[in-house]
Amino acid sequence: MKTIFTISALIISGLCFARQAKAPLLKPDKQNKEIFRAIPEENKAKPNYDLSAYLISTLKYPKAAQEAEIEGQVLVAFIVEKDGSISIVDVVKGKDLGGGLPEEAVRVVKNMPAWKPAIQNDVKVKCHMTIPINFRLEDKSRLNSKYQFPVDKGVVLIQGALPTFNYPVYIHKQQLYPEQARKNRVQGLVVVRFIVETDSSISNITIAEGQDLGYGLPEEALRLIRNMPAWQPALDIDKKPVRSYVMAPVSFKLDEE
């Protein structure tokens, strides 16, 4: 059986959702008057980053669920506080799935970076949100992926950081093929993970794939990435620069003799 998880990143909401035809603009929660249930679409809480990318790169399919071939959907509810932080995370559907799926869904939601809080009458307010997370067994190639990013609330996942230069041309011109790898006809792909900082610099450079190639190829890939020109940082929904993760491939291929 091959395995993969898929994520439904749609933000649903029975509590803080787009305004329906007769829904009031302001509807506090019955238990807590400071938490709102109905807020117009344009004012509801939103993630400051690519939520799908965060979920895909952070969620791990529990081993117990893999072995028992457990699939299903977990619906997670939470509160977006006035400062955008996440609190009171709970499973509202899928608790009976077992295999560690509910716990994993809660872990991922608890570790989400801050959201942009909901607004009512020009004032930031607390708001309930829900996210459905689908666990589906399908393709083992993405299970426990090497491409998962470490949980770091100070770094977001946004498809937006871009090189200010021609990346393929840079790699081709600057690559120094290690002599030992050349002699032993070693070829392959090294994938390097790093953070593009808000000032365009590169940090936290690590190998995500290809460390086992040896013969100096991983080291050369790291050298190339460390010496890259600056990147254009990713922007959040307010067009402000944010720290973000990037995966960059470095291919090593020898000419045919």
DSSP state of 158: -
Instruction: Give the chain's largest Cα–Cα span.
Output: 76
> Looking at residue 37, what is its pLDDT?
60
Percent of the chain with pLDDT over 90: 29
Rg (CA), the chain: 22
pLDDT in tens, 32-78: 456 666 666 777 888 877 677 677 667 788 889 888 989 899 999 99
What are the chain's domains?
35-142 (3.30.2420.10), 162-252 (3.30.2420.10)
Structure tokens at 6: 């898929």
CA 104 to the chain's CA centroid: 15
pLDDT at 160: 65
pLDDT tens-digit series, residues 146-200? 545 555 555 555 556 788 888 889 999 999 999 999 999 999 989 888 988 989 9
pTM strictly above 0.75:
no
What is the DSSP pairing of strand 46-47 with strand 241-242?
Answer: unpaired
Q: What strand order describes the sheet that includes 244-252?
A: 202-209, 188-196, 244-252
pLDDT of residue 158: 52
Please tell me the predicted confidence (pLDDT) of residue 243: 83
Quote the DSSP letter at residue 199. Answer: T
Q: How far apart are CA 150 and CA 199, in angstroms?
A: 21
Distances (CA, A) of 14 to 37, 71, 127: 7, 24, 11
